[in-house]
Amino acid sequence: MNLYDKISELRRILLDARNILIGAGAGLSTAAGFTYDGERFRKNFADFAAAYGFGDMYDGGFYPYATPEEFWGFWCRNIFVNRYDLPKSDVHAKLLTLVRDKNYFVLTTNVDHLFQLNGFDKTRLFYTQGDYGLIQCPTPCHKKTYDNESAVRQMIAAERFSVRGDNVGTSITTRRDSCSAAFKAVVPTELLPRCPKCGKVMVPNLRTDDTFVEDAGWHAAAYRYEKFLKLHAADEIVYLELGVGANTPGIIKYPFWRLTAQNPRARYVCLNFGEAFVPDEISAQSLVVDADIAEVLESL
């Protein structure tokens, strides 16, 4: 089946569908233009590239910063760029037009808030890996998260550069685009977000290890997701996988395969550029489209 025929088949599947479970990975945000490398990285993080030597935002998130001031020097900008300074996404808007009138639910490993920003019903979303808009105690001493927009905007406004090795208090101001390896980005100590219970410097609410806080909102979304699965386990349903790679296949990809295999009335659709495949066991129930997600949604 050529690409044109596959898109025609996908259009028919989505038009006929009553129930749709969307599984969205990083490839969907990439298709929308929100990349962590390339020109977008250079535009927003050229100073960090010069000072620390990493080549994309992902590596910046795992860099072993020497101080909390440096840690939040990177993270306040990373969160601002990828959560609060985002334009609308045509890709997400087009996806919404396809499913708005369906009984849909979204399971995503993305933490950038693009689904809500572009009109998806927040009660139909489950962000399994966290949210750039939330912070938590690093220990954690309690299972609660906090909105970070005010703190992030304050830190962004006060962000500055210090000579590497100097005390934070002796910082000097320099242009971001001319920062050299002699400089490090910092935020003032007094602006660091601190846990209201134990006083430790808080961290983004992102799943990197077993300290990730699954708060009340996370559990409520997980319950709605499990309820959707149970209600439609034997119904006609489309498992629509968008841009899911092999980093965390146990969250979306493998469950979608298993659910399809267990239900002869289910259809599995994998839409991915360069990573589209399906097991032989469910190939008869599946449609695999190896193409740019943005282009396919535009065609639909």
**pLDDT digit string (tens) for 94-121?**
999 999 999 999 999 999 999 999 999 9
Q: How confident is the model at residue 21 (pLDDT cuts 50, 70, 90)?
A: very high
Q: What was the pLDDT predicted at 168? A: 41
- Quick: pLDDT tens for 73-98: 999 999 999 999 999 999 999 999 99
**Structural domain span for residue 222:** 3-299
Q: Which range has the worst mean pLDDT, 23-32, 135-144, 180-189?
A: 180-189
Q: Find the mean pLDDT for residues 262-289.
A: 95
pLDDT-wise least confident of 37-41, 86-90, 159-163, 284-288: 159-163
Model confidence band, residue 248 (pLDDT cutoffs 50, 70, 90): confident
How many independent structural domains does the chain possess? 1
| pLDDT over 60 (residue 181) | no
- CATH number for the domain including 77? 3.40.50.1220
Tell me the DSSP string of the chain.
Answer: --HHHHHHHHHHHHHH-SEEEEEE-HHHHHHTT--SSHHHHHHHHHHHHHHH---SHHHHHT---SSHHHHHHHHHHHHIIIIISPPP-HHHHHHHHHHTTSEEEEEE---S-HHHHTT--GGGEEETTEEEEEEE-SS-SSS-EEE-HHHHHHHHHH-EEEETTS-GGG-B---GGG--TTEEEE--GGGS-B-TTT-PBPEEEE-SSTT----HHHHHHHHHHHHHHHHTTTS-EEEEEES--SSSTTTTHHHHHHHHHH-TTEEEEEEESS-----GGGGGGEEEEES-HHHHHHH-
**% of the chain beyond a pLDDT of 70:** 93
